[in-house]
A = this chain, B = another copy of it.
């Protein structure tokens, strides 16, 4: 049996938080005299009533969740929260509920694909609501990556099981402590990022919004021209904090608690750093040669755009499709990479490449020496068979999701390039695709409604590492 009542209670709590947060843009609207405060109050009220109904259904039930409850709870929360968080957009002129839901799901999954244009003239309250959604989605995903995914072994993430991912009563106080520390670190980094942007010449409003969407690797901006609008210093500040957003946030917490930098001796972090440095330098060198630019400006652009894609942030700074035909293929492949587990970034992620590489290296040596024993370790842990199988499942589902989504898009009339890159950018949570329609300079408004719902589903699947949602489709999940 699925425990409906505690699920309902928890859902109610989440919705109440969303209702509360809607008062922030309401405040902004009042302060800025935009006349949208009423819309936000209305949304907040509706959400709050729903929250009370859900919470009262499950009130006084015991808060014990089985593994199966967790799967259902995770998926349900993201969907229901998005359904309500979309309300403020629908009250904004010209926006259908489809568009509002797409924008919300894109925000909360930190994907950052947008259907809005004319951002420079959009009400501040709407802009801050978009940024807030990304910032909250980001921390939500970090907490899932630390506390839920390792326990469920989603896509081989049992590798990252620590005491903080134990879900028993005994560890509850410790889990809460770590949760609070994660939020503190995330908040601190956001403030630092904001100060950096201020120093780089952004207005306070721009700095606050971009700090929230940088740390969460979300990529929403307050201007249609995205980061192109800002200085070179702002680019480097963005590069730095997107990079930090791609790190396993738990390591900052461990460093604080253990007062030691030894925790940074982590295979995934080292691989991520090495990849970003090597790829940025290569891309910068190639760009300076290809476009006859000086090396430093080329490196600035290359690093920013590379980190933006690899961390799945998706900020655009100059339309890289203007860098020649090679760039489109390079950036297409880079979309799949992703940063570290337990960060805000999506896509495949560095540790899975490292795991697959280790499995490959062992398998090739085994081809030559069939009976030899090759031990296999990752970060001093054995790569067990269930981790390998979980990795295979993740990769399969990841590719199958993209293929099916792309086929669906092309069949409802989206052009081939937008279909393929749109499917990829949704499932990897990067944000912009390639091509004229949904490329870095375009937006998703012109797509048919069916495509927008399918892409929303793709973003959710990508954010929840697909497996979390896929198990819900098994008949055995519902059987007893």
Chain A positions within 8 Å of B, measured between CB atoms, are 67-68, 71, 152-154, 325-326, 328-330, 332-333, 356-357, 359-360, 362-370, 385-386, 388-393, 395-397, 403, 406-407, 410-411, 415-416, 419-420, 467, 470-471, 474, 476-477
Contact = CB atoms under 8 A, between A and B. Distances in A.
A385 B374 CA distance: 14
28 contacts: A71-B367, A152-B367, A326-B416, A329-B406, A332-B420, A333-B403, A333-B406, A356-B392, A360-B396, A362-B389, A363-B389, A363-B392, A363-B393, A364-B467, A364-B471, A365-B474, A365-B476, A366-B386, A366-B389, A368-B474, A368-B476, A368-B477, A369-B476, A385-B385, A388-B388, A388-B389, A388-B392, A391-B392
A476 B388 CA distance: 24
Copies in the complex: 2
Going nearest first, the 9 A-B pairs with the smallest beta carbon separation are A363-B393, A326-B410, A329-B410, A360-B393, A325-B416, A363-B389, A329-B416, A367-B471, A328-B416
Nearest to A362: B389
Interface of A is mostly: helix
A439 to B, nearest CB: 13
A390 B49 CA distance: 54
Contact of A470 (B364, B388, B420): B364
Contacts of A332: 420
B467 A407 contact: no
Contacts of A356: 392, 396
Contacts of A420: 329, 332
Contacts of A369: 476
A229 B419 CA distance: 33
Contacts of A467: 364, 367
A205 to B, nearest CB: 38
B367 A153 contact: yes
A46 to B, nearest CB: 35
B329 A368 contact: no
Contacts of A370: 67, 153
Contacts of A396: 356-357, 359-360
A388 to B, nearest CB: 6
A397 B360 contact: yes
B325 A389 contact: no
A278 to B, nearest CB: 15
A297 B392 CA distance: 41
Contact of A392 (B329, B359, B411): B359
A406 B332 CA distance: 11
A396 to B, nearest CB: 5
Nearest to A156: B363
A1 B410 CA distance: 54
A450 to B, nearest CB: 14
B474 A329 contact: no
